[in-house]
Structures are given as C-alpha cells and as structure tokens.
Structure 1
C-alpha cells in the first residue's frame, strides 16, 4: 500500500510582493517583453514628438528677437516668414510622430491586455475545485474585465504619456538653464516643494484604488449570483430584496470610488496651485529682468514657453501617477490570481496507462481517506478499500452525505486523498497527467451543464474531433435524437444559456450523449436518469446498458430500477463501506440498503382508497 499526503494549499498571493508601491507594475513586464520591437518604434516616435515640441519655444524666441526686434522692416519680414515656415515644418513632424506614437501604444495596450486576459483565464480554468470554494465567480470576472481595462489604460496611454512628459520635463529644464540659469534655479527650488504632497497623496490614491476595485468585484459577484438563480428568485418573489442587496453593494462601491476621486482631486489641486504659483512668481522676476535690460523679450518668451512645458509635464505626470496607482492595484489583484497554485498538478515524470482492454478499466481504491480542505476535521471518506473489475457495473448507494459524490471527485482527481491511493489499471492516478486520467473517464453529472452552443457542439464537447455522424449516433444512443430533430434548426439549434430552452430531462440526455461520444473505458453516472420521465428513463436505461458494454461503470443512483441492474452494489454510510453485494443479498441482510429500499418502495406504494 502506498500512502501519500497532499501538500497544503498555497496561498493565492504566496508569490506576490506585499509592497505598497508601483513596483507591483513590474509584474506586467513578462507580458510586454514579447513586443520589444513595437515599444522601440513607439519610443522613436516619442523622441521625435518630444523634440518637435521642445523646438517650438526656440522658434518663437527667434521670431520675437530677429523679427519684431529688427530695425529693418524687410529684414524683419524675412525672419518672420522663415520662422513661421520652420514652425510649420516642426508642426508636421510633431503631427506625424504623435499619430505614429498613438497608433503604436494603442496597439500595445490592446495586445498586452488581451494577453493578460487570456493568461489569467487559462490559469483560472486549471485551478482545482478548492480554489472555487473560496473565490466567487463574479470576483474573477471583475478582475478579467474591470482590472484589465485599467491595465489597458496604463499600457496603451499612461506609459507613453509618462515617457513623453518625462522627456519634455528634462528637455524643458535643460532649455530653461540655457535661457536663464538664475530663474531656473529659483523655479527648481520651488518645484521641490511640490513633490512631497504628490507622493503622500499618491500612496493614499493607490490604497483607495485597490479598495474601489474590491467593491466593484463584490457587486459583480452578487450580480452574477442573482442572475444565475433568477428562476428561484422570481419563484419566491424576492426580486425587490435582491435588487436592494445589489444596490447596497453598488452604493458601497460608489462611496469608496468617491473617496478615491476626492483624494485624486486634492492631489490635482495641490499640484496645479503649487506648480503654477511657482511659475508665476518666477515669471514676475523675469519681467523685471526684461525691464532692467538683463534679458531680451525673446528670451523671456522662450523661458515662459519652456516653463509652461515643464509645468504641464509635471501636471500630466501627476495625472499619470494617479492612473498608475489605480493600475498598480488592478495589477496586484490579477497577479494574485496568477499566483494561485493548485495542489492538483501533473507529475514531473508522468506514467502511461496500459493499452485499453475489451472490458474497460480496473479501478482500485486502497485504504483511501479524504477530508475536504475546508472541513479537515470531518472525513468524507474513511479507509475506503474497493476493487472494481474491468467491465463491472457497480452501483454506489447511501444516504445524503455518505461520500458518493466525493468518490467521483477523487476518481477524476479534483482532489487528492490525504492517505491511501487510487489506481486505474494498476497506475496511481497521481502518476498520470490530468489529460490522460480525465481522458479515460466519462461522467454524466447530476447537475447537467449545457453550454451556450448549438446541440451539435454541446454533444461534441465530449470529443472535439468527432464527426457529425458520430455525434448523431451518440444522440441516438442517449434517446436525444428525436427531440433534437424537432428543434427549429435541428442539431444546429442554439440551446440558450445553461440550456434554458430544454427541459431537465432533455438537458440530461444531452449530457449522456456527450459522455457516450467520449467512449471512455470508465463511465461515471451520477443520478444520470434522475430528471427523466418513465418513458425517457426506459429509453435511456436501454441506451446505457448498451453503452456499458466494453467499459467499467460506476453509478450513483437511488432508483432501484438502476441499482438492480448493477453487478454489485456498494453501500456507503459516513464515508465508509458498510455493505456490499447484489440487490437480493443486501435486502436479505436487512441493513442500511434494505432500509433505503423499503423507504423507496413505501414512497411508490399506491395510496389506499
């Protein structure tokens, strides 16, 4: 006997730095790295645009000093004409470079966002059921939509704006020093005072941005839960209550968003007042310098324009900082999803299953003990030992909570047992890849899933490479062909979200056809006929009997019509096997199974007149 113990579940943010800074955005680098060429092209366009912008004030200086200040009118007109011609050339370069920059960074924003969405979704769908026990679907959807939209803004716009305004800030400062070192030194000293409030409020904006995204995710989770349960909500006339519950979440998100907006507005207010206050003071000094004759009018004009460029770039950088803080919060949330690690992983050196036999698979449970991660103190299965022969049909019965569904989840390796082993054809399921294991198992669940596809594709979900004829053959075996043919467009009829256009029995027959199409050596039937009427059940039972030939079948069932056809019946109670045998043997024992059978017979007994 082999005993293994599963590792503890990794924390969703085990690999995520807990820093409250923009360093979280470094997590986007792997998604941007494949597009270095596009970033380089955008950078070149950015350099040309920034250079053209910085050339404009110098052209104005030339125009003022050489044109308006020239003694000869003809000479002045020539200078003005040349200056304006040069300005038009600069404007043309600026237009082309800006358009090219906009196109490239917009493309990058869309491309990187699409890659992030795909990566997160690909990662989430590979998580074990344990992940979905603690993570709400609405929260995942919020991160895939709202959070990635914020990242799209930072990659597609904000990074470009940050680089552009950084270049303008540096270039403008250099030109300010060239124009007037004294005035520039004064303005720099004053601008230093602006940095402190920007940093302090920037941290607050980041925290509030994360809180705001969390509240939006909460609202999305509530909305998703309500919309998925609309028949129940309407049946109990709870529409008003649920609308109010969602309204509370929306108001909470609004309140948090307003706190973020107020903080960001305060940041903008302080930045603009302090920056332009410093500029006005310095320009007042410059005006006195022109009056005193220590500075020309053109130099002052140039200084004003460069000061405006520097001030504008600082203001824009403060805006970008706010966007970056929000994107940092969104990135942190997405990286938490990407950092989640499932205990259910493929082995580093996977084994292979032996060649399929004509009778199906052998299933061995060796002293299996399992408790759900959320209820570790309560064993769902305890020291379970069972050998199922190839081609055998085994029915698993027992009261609610006995461990029947848990057994199926372990066979599919949705979870690993804390001790003991499960073997398929002699190979431990933990030594197989999930693709190999689950490819050898077909299941018809109790809660039937029908996708928003047509009938053909819903059945083909069991084996994507199946031909139309094979799909139709599987539908015939599952007694689904006739009702599908009666649909408006036959097999190409759209079945609606979650199969709302079908009855419960029809949905179940679609699921049975899907499993039969897969043609696995091991078939798991979880109450496969529970939603069928008597006629449909008779048809499906006949189809299932034919489908069981050449494969091993394990059935969870309460209906005696299903149980009695099994080669063997396993009775579970409290996670343990308490009885095992044929229907007649177990009835003779007068134990748990006999009581369950008596209850069912009593339930179906005719009422005395």
Structure 2
C-alpha cells in the first residue's frame, strides 16, 4: 500500500466522483442486504398459517427501543399481514410482498450501476493524468537516462503498468467502501434476526480469513517479475522493428526469434504462477464460505426444529443473508490480490516519476534570447562512465564564424555537441555563451539559441509540414516552403502526392537518406537560430546527395555561428577554424591550407580519405 498511497493523489481532481461513488455504494449495500430481509414477509404469507399470525398480533405493537428492533419489526409485519389479509385477501398481500422484494432488488442494482458509472470517470481520469505525467517526465529526463534503460521497459510502464494501476484502483475502492459496507449492513440485519446464530457464524470467519491471506503473500513478487519481463520483450520488439533491415540482411531472424521466445517463455512461466495463485483466491474463499453455511444449516436447523427459538421464514432469510456475505468477502479477497499486483505496478511507475533529472535549471536561471559575442568552451573535462572522453578541452567560437571539429571515431567530437546543447553536464570546466555559463541559463532559452542537425535524420510519422513545425509550431506555409528551398528540399517535396501535407512514414522511411537529411536541415532553417550545430550531417550520404546537402548547409550557415562535426573533410575546407581531436584532446588547429602545410594529423586524415 506504500506506493499505492502515492498514486491516490491523482484521484484528488476527481474526488466528487469518488464521493458520488461512495454514496451510491452505501445505498447499494443497504438495499442489497434489505433485499433478503424483504423476503421474510413474503415467506410468512406463503408458508405460515394465517391463524398463527392473527393470534400473534391484533393491535399495533409499541416501539420499545433499538435493542428490541428485531422483535418490533417482526410484530409490525405480523400486524400488517393480518390487517391486509382481513381487508384484501391473501393473494393481494402476496402481490404487495412481491412488489416489495422486486423494489429492493431494483434499487440495489440501480445504485450498483450508478456506483460503477461514477467510478468510471475517476478511473479513466487517473489513467489519463498518470500517463500524461509519465510522458512529461519521459521527455523531461536527460538523454543519459535512456542510455541505461531499455525503451521497451519505459513503454511497458506507460502502457500495461498504468493499466494495472487503473484496474487496481477500482479494486481498492471496492475493498474499502462497497464490499465492507455490504458486509456491515448484512451483519446488522443478521443480528436483528438472531444474535445467537450470528455470534456462532463469526467464530469461523477469522479462521477462513487467515487461510485466504496465506495464499497471496508472494503475489507482489510474482507480479513484479511479470511486469519486468513484459518490458524486456517489448524492448526486443522495439529493437526488431527499428533494425529489421539488419536482421534480414544478416539472416539473424533465428537469433532474434530465440531471444524473443526465451523472454515470452519466462513471461509464460511467471504469468502462470501469478494467475494460478490469484485464481485460487475465489474458489478457496467460496469453499470456506460454503463450509460456514453448512455448519450454519446444522446449528440454525437445530434452533428451528428442536429449540423452536427461530421461525422458518426468518431462518430462510437469514441463510440468504449469510450467503450474501460470501460475494463481498470473495470480492475483498480478489481485490486484495489486485491491490498487491497494482502495488508492484505502482512501484515501477513511481520509479520513473520520482527519478530526479540530473539536468535541471538553477533557481533564478536567466532567460537568454540573443547571441552577441561568442561560445567559449573553457578547460572542460567529461566522462560518460569511467574513462575521460574529453580532457582539459578549450575552444572559442566567435559570433559569425564556422568552427569544424575533426578526428577519428571516439575522439570526443559528438560529445562536444552533447555538452553545448546541455544534453549532458560537464564534469569540470565551463561552457559559456556571451560570458554566461550555460548552467545559469534556462534549458529552454539555451536550446532556443541552438539549431541541431544530426547524422541520423530524426523525423516523425507525420507530414512534411508537421515535421518542420516541430521547430516553429505557428509557421505559415510560405515560411515552410522558404525553408525547404534554402535546404534544397523543395524540388522533391513539391513532387510528393500532397506536397508539404504528404505523410513521410515512420522515421521518414518513404524518403531517401539525402531527402531525409535535407528535411532535417529545412527544420533547422525554419527555427532560424543564431548558433548552428551540425553533427556529421553528410557522413551517411552518397556523392550526389552529399553535394545537395552540402549546398543546403552552406546556404544555412551564411551569417551564422556554426560548430560543425565533420567526418568527410571535403565539406569543411572553408571553415574559419578546423580543430583536430585525438582521445579527447586538441592536437592541432587552424585553417585548411595551414593544417595541410604542417603535414601532421590533419594531413594524414585528408590523405586517408583521398585514397579511399
């Protein structure tokens, strides 16, 4: 219940539905119990000798207090039946009693429906708000969080775990409101009929309750295993869909099939254990309940047949009430198991919701809306895990200049892009924009100054216009077309079936690599930021596409400050400063011709690419 209490705060905006549900459940429980009591007068009309009833009461009985309420109710019913038999006959009395029984059952079911009607808004509201918060947190958490977590596990938490909480939320409200009220009202009516018989019944209830509680002790542990395994195979599915070309190209279908089947095999095993334990609750509680009913039949039958201390009509109604306890008792048993499962799901959901982001805005962080001087990287060091990726790295990028970062893979080039955009924070040193440390600037305003074009063209399953408007939501069609023209993308977009309103498929897979990259550039152009970061934007392209993309990049970088991470050195020959990195340190820097003249590291890199 510890985790579940934290989830309950999501019910606060819907508390009026909770109150309406509770009120409806009170009436449901009352009329549900009264329905069986209302059988007594009908049974009296059917089975008891009218002369006996007439002999028992001929005047209106006097009310003597709550302790005698049962006797008073019985005497009043006898009086009413006698009077009605005299005035209208026995069949008319029977019809009245039948209408009474039907009315109580109708009211019970009406309030049962209303209770479920109101709880629906509460459950679905909690589901909606919880998913919204999870998604908001998913976006808010830093990139580093997802380098350690499986994507499928996050998907499982937002989908199936939240759904489990929703079902459990209904169970807990039944657990604490409806079913206990049904039991309480039933017990009250049972006590009114026979205190002695009720005391006898409740000697056996703690025994059966103890047995049921023993069944579900390990349920939470098994539920946690099921949910974790579900996250694992969803991860495999997500990776499979993302890498289908590689799987097919390397004939690796068997490897991934085996991996997926191993996971679903474990899921099968854990689910069987969990559901078998859960399914045991209902038959166990029902059998124990029937055992209590059987003992009750023996003891109550003795009171009717031998002691003559209980009337047959009362005993039949009492048996109905005793059985009426079984349904809510079973529901409580089942709900308690659901709560244990929901608690495990809540733990996994709260793990994400309560994770503190390592990249946060400082209190009072400044909103920076302009760029006037330079980007300074001052003596920074950084490591993802144990090994330093950058060591004492310093660089100044004046406004309006283009600085290119080159070097072998793993030299730290892309890490600089991640640090300037503050996807990660430096371990040592500072990165400043116009003299302001970027940790003192809000993340939103910092990234508002930056445009990003990555090596992998990250596009969404949306139209061309929808993908571009990620950069500027309110952009007009004229602005979109202008950005596409700068990025050399209008030539192919104009030929698409619906132009800028054409859907480009999942990850833009309806387009070629060069077309996708030019759309990424158009998106950056539309944003029109003062600082542009290009992370190996042409490395994955063929020669023709590279030429078009390079031309688009040159158009975009005019009168703009640019940090270019380059793999193909032919694309950065006009850079104002080329910085050569090796193992996280600067080994040389200068203009293209200067570095070639040195015949050092840069010269070697150019030679290797020209030979290739």
Per the TM superposition, whether the score is higher than 0.5 is: yes
Report whether the alignment pairs 1:386 with 2:401.
Answer: no
Distance 1:125 1:305, change over 3 A: same
Report whether the alignment pairs 1:223 with 2:202.
Answer: no
CA deviation string 1:494-549 (max 9, x = no partner): 11101111111111111111111111111001122223443443333333223222
Unaligned runs of 5+ in 1: 1-21, 604-609
Q: Which moved more, 1:191-200 or 1:520-529?
A: 191-200
Provide the secondary structure at the position in 2 that maps to 1:405.
helix
Report whether the alignment pairs 1:281 with 2:295.
Answer: yes
Query: How much does 1:553 deviate?
Result: 0.2
Distance 1:336 1:407, change over 3 A: same
Partner of 1:590: 599
Report whether the alignment pairs 1:343 with 2:358.
Answer: yes
Distance (Å, rounded) in 1 between the aligned partners of 2:284 and 2:257 = 40
CA deviation string 1:77-133 (max 9, x = no partner): 343222112122223322321221121112221111111111111101111122101
Maintained 8 Å contact 1:67/1:75: no
Query: How much does 1:328 deviate?
Result: 1.2
Report whether the alignment pairs 1:64 with 2:43.
Answer: yes
Query: How much does 1:70 deviate?
Result: 4.1
Partner of 2:69: none
Distance (Å, rounded) in 2 between the aligned partners of 1:363 and 1:184 = 83
Partner of 1:15: none
Report whether the alignment pairs 1:419 with 2:428.
Answer: yes
Distance (Å, rounded) in 2 between the aligned partners of 1:85 and 1:348 = 70
Query: In structure 2, which of residues 371, 374, 380 is the aligned counterpart of residue 368 of structure 1?
Result: 380
Maintained 8 Å contact 2:142/2:359: yes
Partner of 2:527: 518
Query: In structure 1, which of residues 241, 255, 270 is the aligned counterpart of residue 269 of structure 2?
Result: 255
Query: How much does 1:245 deviate?
Result: 1.6
Query: In structure 1, which of residues 468, 471, 479 is the aligned counterpart of residue 488 of structure 2?
Result: 479
Distance (Å, rounded) in 2 between the aligned partners of 1:142 and 1:348 = 34
Distance 1:206 1:532, change over 3 A: closer
Query: In structure 1, which of residues 18, 41, 44 is the aligned counterpart of residue 23 of structure 2?
Result: 44
Distance (Å, rounded) in 1 between the aligned partners of 2:471 and 2:531 = 14
Using the size of structure 1 for normalisation, the TM-score is 0.92
Maintained 8 Å contact 2:127/2:162: yes
Distance (Å, rounded) in 1 between the aligned partners of 2:598 and 2:451 = 33
Distance (Å, rounded) in 2 between the aligned partners of 1:76 and 1:544 = 98
Partner of 2:325: 310
CA deviation string 1:241-279 (max 9, x = no partner): 312221111111010010112222333333222222122
Query: In structure 1, which of residues 179, 188, 194 is the aligned counterpart of residue 202 of structure 2?
Result: 188
Query: How much does 1:198 deviate?
Result: 2.4
Distance (Å, rounded) in 1 between the aligned partners of 2:267 and 2:548 = 53
Partner of 1:550: 559
Partner of 2:70: none
Query: How much does 1:66 deviate?
Result: 4.6
Q: RMSD in angstroms over aligned alpha carbons?
A: 1.7
Maintained 8 Å contact 1:450/1:499: yes
Distance (Å, rounded) in 2 between the aligned partners of 1:153 and 1:560 = 58
CA deviation string 1:401-444 (max 9, x = no partner): 00000000000101111110001121111011110111111010
Query: How much does 1:568 deviate?
Result: 0.6
Matches within 5 A, 1:129-528: 129-156=143-170, 159-160=173-174, 163-292=177-306, 293-353=308-368, 355-357=370-372, 362-372=374-384, 375-376=385-386, 378-528=387-537
Report whether the alignment pairs 1:117 with 2:131.
Answer: yes
Provide the secondary structure at the position in 2 that maps to 1:415.
coil
Distance (Å, rounded) in 1 between the aligned partners of 2:188 and 2:369 = 74
Q: Which moved more, 1:36-45 or 1:269-278?
A: 269-278
Maintained 8 Å contact 1:105/1:157: no
Maintained 8 Å contact 1:105/1:155: no
Distance (Å, rounded) in 1 between the aligned partners of 2:441 and 2:214 = 53
Distance (Å, rounded) in 2 between the aligned partners of 1:197 and 1:478 = 72
Q: Which moved more, 1:582-591 or 1:430-439?
A: 582-591
Q: Which moved more, 1:280-289 or 1:70-79?
A: 70-79
Residue-pair matches, total: 576
Q: Which moved more, 1:70-79 or 1:221-230?
A: 70-79
Q: Which structure exhibits the higher relative contact order, with contacts defined as CA atoms closer than 8 Å and separated by 6 or more residues?
A: 1
Using the size of structure 2 for normalisation, the TM-score is 0.91
Provide the secondary structure at the position in 2 that maps to 1:528.
coil
Distance (Å, rounded) in 1 between the aligned partners of 2:556 and 2:564 = 13
Query: How much does 1:75 deviate?
Result: 4.8
Distance 1:406 1:88, change over 3 A: same
Structure index of larger Rg? 2
Distance (Å, rounded) in 1 between the aligned partners of 2:535 and 2:205 = 71
Partner of 1:576: 585
Query: In structure 2, which of residues 121, 138, 154 is the aligned counterpart of residue 107 of structure 1?
Result: 121
Distance (Å, rounded) in 2 between the aligned partners of 1:445 and 1:526 = 5
Distance (Å, rounded) in 1 between the aligned partners of 2:521 and 2:170 = 47
Distance (Å, rounded) in 2 between the aligned partners of 1:545 and 1:214 = 48
Unaligned runs of 5+ in 2: 52-84
Distance (Å, rounded) in 1 between the aligned partners of 2:21 and 2:435 = 58
Distance (Å, rounded) in 2 between the aligned partners of 1:438 and 1:168 = 58
Maintained 8 Å contact 1:107/1:156: no
